[in-house]
Chains A and B, each alone.
Chain A
């Protein structure tokens, strides 16, 4: 016994005492952000170690999923099918604080909430998603997004863009502007262009879609372009960076998007602006000069602030893309690692999988997958694994992948929200 007490004294003095063992209280885990990363992390920590005190901080009582929100634009789904509540998280034993986190103090290890409360943590998980760099495109601020929706955070913006599309006269021009890398959901703008074209073909067949891009290559590019040529010939025009695709300013009053090569007047304009980690990340000091959050690749602990873990779109995850599936996978790895760390154990090196489906039409799905492991402080693509659907589909593969996409959504949202 004397030996054990002596050991505890030494480790406590060194600040290494496993919180669960040494403290008289329960160790506390606070999670900021109730999306695919945060909601999964909160619940998984609690399920893996019920003795921990877990609080999820999320101001919205309802989460609206970005995955499959492009189908809402094309009238294939309704917005309420995108919405999830936190009842499943609560019944797992997680405390949900329905308010906003305003200040993270990494020294004091506290999170101040908009309702005036202050939470202490042993480990903080931040999954704040994205915020927009307003005015990075001159003229595009939050007020402009009411005229030229981004619809890159699902909800009211998705509904607004759908309403504008439905109100458009046949023969109108839809202009979509896609940002440079990195940004949330790399194939998302191209799935959106596809599904808007799918809808135009049925309801407004004389209309066109102009896709102005700030880059020269994009995710699943050949699969998308083959699908466009096959299904929507002449409807979608993609303008890459090198051909004047970069939008350098917008005028929301006239719905004009100006590039280095000229101006385009839209009937409906969808501007997906440049992005950064959710604002609280910069306040906490976990975002670097890029606006995103560097983390180590085993427990996703910030390389800038100890005891804070960052997940999902906000984090720099090496080869792993900013996707809902990736955030969910990272959250499960992070939760297991935090349970280990709080017990004084070393987390194991993880392997993570990403799988993302895109719809080119309601019954035409394509996918990309990757397998990742830590290497030299980063998550890297395991060579030889992963990749996209084959360019030549046999045996009804595109229809099969559209079906898999629906199952993927149901399983992922069930695993995240219960």
Chain B
């Protein structure tokens, strides 16, 4: 009985524990080249770590459609579909601000 329970428990713990940084969704690691993960002096580029998932998703969707004007983000947002965008947004939302 106990033996049967253990593997189930272990996998639940694995699922519940936060993904490691090596598991960041595809595309996420490129964002921090411009959007500093920590505060960098004198950057006019907004930070995205710790922002709400739905805010990031909304911005990306509006950049992609052109509804919200942008310089470079419209061109970048077009490279990601809704599911990919959502995964990246959730990842940054979970990072410390």
A residues within 8 Å of B by Cβ? 47-49, 325, 328-329, 332-333, 336, 339-340, 348-353, 355, 367, 369-371, 373, 382, 384-387, 389, 395, 397, 400-401, 403-404, 406-408, 410-412, 414-415
Q: At the interface, is chain B mostly helix, strand, loop or mixed?
A: loop
Closest CB in chain A relative to B83 CB, distance in Å: 12
Whether B43 is near chain A, meaning CB under 8 Å from some CB there, is: yes
B residues within 8 Å of A by Cβ? 20-24, 26-27, 29-38, 40-45, 69, 71-72, 75-80, 84
Nearest CB to that of A369 among chain B residues?
B75
CA distance A384 to B42 in the complex (A): 32
Q: Are A404 and B30 within 8 A (Cβ)?
A: no
Contacts of B43 in A (CB 8 A): 407, 410-411
Q: A336-B24, A369-B72, A410-B40 are in contact. Are A351 and B30 (CB under 8 A)?
A: yes
Q: Are B22 and A407 within 8 A (Cβ)?
A: no
Q: A48-B20, A382-B79, A404-B71 are in contact. Are A332 and B41 (CB under 8 A)?
A: no
Closest CB in chain B relative to A325 CB, distance in Å: 5
Nearest first, the 5 A-B pairs at minimum CB distance are A371-B79, A385-B79, A351-B27, A353-B30, A332-B29
Give 18 new A-B contacts, CB below 8 A, not counting A348-B26, A404-B44: A332-B30, A336-B21, A339-B22, A340-B22, A352-B30, A353-B30, A355-B76, A371-B80, A385-B75, A389-B72, A395-B69, A403-B44, A407-B44, A410-B43, A411-B43, A411-B45, A414-B40, A415-B37
Closest CB in chain A relative to B52 CB, distance in Å: 22
Closest CB in chain B relative to A411 CB, distance in Å: 5
Q: Are A410 and B41 within 8 A (Cβ)?
A: yes
Q: Are A384 and B78 within 8 A (Cβ)?
A: yes
CA distance A48 to B29 in the complex (A): 12
Q: Are A406 and B42 within 8 A (Cβ)?
A: yes
Q: Are B72 and A367 within 8 A (Cβ)?
A: yes
Checking B33, B40, B79 against A329 with a beta-carbon cut-off of 8 angstroms, the contacting residue is B33
Closest CB in chain B relative to A88 CB, distance in Å: 11
Q: Are B33 and A328 within 8 A (Cβ)?
A: yes
CA distance A355 to B35 in the complex (A): 12
Closest CB in chain A relative to B56 CB, distance in Å: 15
Q: Are B34 and A401 within 8 A (Cβ)?
A: no
Contacts of B36 in A (CB 8 A): 411, 414-415
Could you give 30 example pairs across A and B, Cβ below 8 Å? A49-B22, A328-B33, A329-B33, A333-B29, A351-B27, A351-B30, A351-B79, A353-B79, A355-B72, A367-B71, A369-B75, A371-B76, A371-B79, A384-B78, A384-B79, A385-B80, A389-B71, A397-B71, A404-B44, A404-B71, A404-B72, A406-B42, A407-B34, A407-B40, A407-B44, A410-B40, A411-B32, A412-B33, A414-B38, A415-B37
